[in-house]
A and B are shown apart, each in its own frame.
Chain A
């Protein structure tokens, strides 16, 4: 098990970070969010195509899920509005890079989890799935169907039979939508339910890396602010009550880094205990990200409550991520089965 970052991974991180700083600084994200603009297609092209970040699961490139996880960290750190999770993680894990490629795609499941409710008859899909992440912008819908098979629907076809209705979402930078299929023509991908399980496991495992990125940003920006901000004739950060809170938070973030790396490495190498490590990372990192974001808002005082400061974007992403693809409680329940600690 390798828990460190390789040189290649650090180089990848640096390019993704540069790109996000240039193309998607926080004031730009805030402005897009305020204007109700949703995802930034130019940013997606730059990230997915120019940088090739969407193709890291392409066997020809030789990338691994460890690298995809590094991209997730940076996307979390910048709360960038991109469909990376839906396209480059979930849909690609289910369908393979060859079929998703640089298109935007998503896996049509309720983001908070839940069993398939869409039905297939005569090659046509019907049913409704609520609160799907990355559906609004998706060209390609990968749809799990009652009974365990997996289908794909091209949204571009003239009579697609698909309606996607945006929802007002807690997380402004990853909006959700309801997806309705009315006799939509679909293509069967596989009858093997393990493919969906694997995609969801990959999604939950890599979401931990996004949560790590969120937590790291929240901790770093809070430390920076408390070093400068003065009250009672001294920097607020010199008060021990706050220092101890931040030291504890730091320790949790350090743990989140180890857990997220372990999950990414296990997914990449196909380790025998992958499911255990994903359950550990998913239950731990979700909680840490929320706590870091909550501390970030609180310790910034009034400014932390404002729309103009980016802290709220992180809090919203962190809280939504905590429910996404299984709550910490659900991951712990799964862990109980895996490590034989029955209720």
Chain B
């Protein structure tokens, strides 16, 4: 009999694979196989079927032992969005194939959702997928703002498979092989000067039907799982006080008395309180999730974070005065991850502008809160029952 207690499992893993002696990747694979990747996932798929709350215990124990991690910021789309969707809608075969290298970071994932003509109104998308007689789909279309497409091995993709039905019904969800010759990735330079996202052109991309997630025409429902996971901050690690952007600003304030003015002091304290309240809100959400009572607070987490990040980074540039007029580096770069800490204030200010756009704009999140949390009536809609091909675009 296997012992499924996560703590005992963690100790066994550390005994069998001492982090200081084994290769990083070997350790990560062994951790996945021991069910300690996501303890709440099923046995055999990186988990133990244990309560989600126990993950924190495992993570703390591994960190204390100096174990390597899987660089979650680099593979965020895979971990946060692809994995829960594959878990919910994937076949056993698909789960076995994709989850392990996804978690260890051997295979990076990206998200081919947004298009030039479909962003907030994602269900309006126009990329076509047509099933051939040989059971293979052919995909044509253009995607945009695709983060990590240049490092990704796989993509989650939604495409239109039936243009004659209303827009939410004719969509199917696929996993796209980014090494397929029909996939062309072009850097799209952004406001910061770097290119963390891309345009992706799909020309005659061949996707076997075995790489479909969920039923044909059910893609919108599958995508909801992805989008909910994107928006709802999953109770990760507790953040210490001054753990985020506010910590950097507070440090500047403490070490640079010559920058202080009474007016900036008032605003700094407001931001400090806002940051602490947001931290406590996240902590409360984490405790709710751990106690098995998920609340709607998660939808607000992203909204609150975006607002605070923008206020704080704007404040930081202003606080720095003359230094704030400079910028660290405008060279076009192709980063593997978004690094708020490794760059200067001007970069943080500009990059934070994306926080209220990526993963659902703040306007869309407010609609979601108002309608699904507060129960306010929806706006009247003209697009719901019309076949997609008859909609104006």
- Give the CA-CA distance A244 to B379 in the complex, in Å: 12
A248 at the interface (CB under 8 A from B): yes
Q: Is the CB of B281 within 8 A of A248?
A: no
- Give the CA-CA distance A223 to B376 in the complex, in Å: 7
Contact with A along B169-202 (1 / 0, CB 8 A): 0000000000000000000000000000000000
Contact with B along A208-248 (1 / 0, CB 8 A): 00000000000000010011000000110111101110111
- Give the CA-CA distance A250 to B278 in the complex, in Å: 13
Q: Is the CB of B379 within 8 A of A223?
A: no
- Residues on A lying within 8 angstroms of B by beta carbon are 1-4, 223, 226-227, 234-235, 237-240, 242-244, 246-248, 250-251, 254-259, 261-262, 273, 276, 280, 283-284, 329, 332-333, 335-336, 339-343
Apart from the given pairs A280-B276, A341-B250, 9 other A-B contacts in the complex at a CB distance below 8 Å: A2-B287, A234-B380, A240-B367, A247-B303, A250-B300, A251-B369, A258-B283, A341-B269, A343-B265
B12 at the interface (CB under 8 A from A): no
Q: Can you report 14 A-B residue pairs in the complex whose CB atoms are below 8 A from each other?
A: A3-B280, A227-B377, A237-B376, A243-B370, A243-B374, A244-B363, A247-B303, A247-B370, A251-B303, A254-B297, A259-B280, A332-B269, A332-B273, A341-B272
Majority SS of interface residues in chain A?
Answer: helix
| Chain B residues positioned under 8 Å from A343 (CB to CB) | 260, 262, 265
Q: Is the CB of A250 within 8 A of B273?
A: no
Q: Is the CB of B254 within 8 A of A341?
A: yes
* CB of A217, distance to nearest CB on chain B (Å): 14
| Chain A residues positioned under 8 Å from B86 (CB to CB) | none
- With known contacts A237-B377, A238-B378, A258–B272 Cβ distance under 8 A: no
- Give the CA-CA distance A329 to B276 in the complex, in Å: 16
Instruction: Tell which of B241, B269, B284, B367 touches A4, judged by Cβ atoms closer than 8 Å.
Output: B284
| Chain B residues positioned under 8 Å from A261 (CB to CB) | 280, 284
- Give the CA-CA distance A219 to B284 in the complex, in Å: 20
Instruction: Tell which of A237, A238, A246, A336 touches B269, judged by Cβ atoms closer than 8 Å.
Output: A336
| Chain A residues positioned under 8 Å from B237 (CB to CB) | none
Q: Is the CB of B270 within 8 A of A244?
A: no
- Residues on B lying within 8 angstroms of A by beta carbon are 241, 250, 253-254, 257, 260, 262, 265-266, 268-270, 272-274, 276-278, 280-281, 283-284, 287-288, 291, 293, 297, 300, 303-304, 363, 365-367, 369-371, 373-380
- Listed from nearest, the 8 A-B pairs whose CB atoms lie closest are A243-B370, A247-B366, A258-B280, A247-B369, A238-B377, A3-B284, A237-B376, A332-B269
Instruction: Tell which of B257, B284, B374 touches A250, judged by Cβ atoms closer than 8 Å.
Output: B374
| Chain A residues positioned under 8 Å from B287 (CB to CB) | 2-4
Instruction: Tell which of B304, B375, B376, B380 touches A251, judged by Cβ atoms closer than 8 Å.
Output: B304
- Give the CA-CA distance A341 to B254 in the complex, in Å: 6
| Chain B residues positioned under 8 Å from A4 (CB to CB) | 284, 287-288, 291, 293
| Chain B residues positioned under 8 Å from A332 (CB to CB) | 266, 269-270, 273
- Give the CA-CA distance A248 to B304 in the complex, in Å: 9
Minimal Cβ-Cβ distance residue in A for B288: A4
| Chain B residues positioned under 8 Å from A262 (CB to CB) | 280
Q: Is the CB of A335 within 8 A of B376?
A: no
* CB of A244, distance to nearest CB on chain B (Å): 4
Minimal Cβ-Cβ distance residue in B for A340: B254
Minimal Cβ-Cβ distance residue in A for B376: A237
- With known contacts A240-B367, A247-B369, A254-B297, A339–B284 Cβ distance under 8 A: no
| Chain B residues positioned under 8 Å from A1 (CB to CB) | 283
| Chain A residues positioned under 8 Å from B265 (CB to CB) | 336, 341, 343
Minimal Cβ-Cβ distance residue in A for B238: A1
- Give the CA-CA distance A299 to B262 in the complex, in Å: 35
- Give the CA-CA distance A235 to B293 in the complex, in Å: 31
Q: Is the CB of B273 within 8 A of A223?
A: no
- Give the CA-CA distance A4 to B286 in the complex, in Å: 10
- Give the CA-CA distance A3 to B280 in the complex, in Å: 8
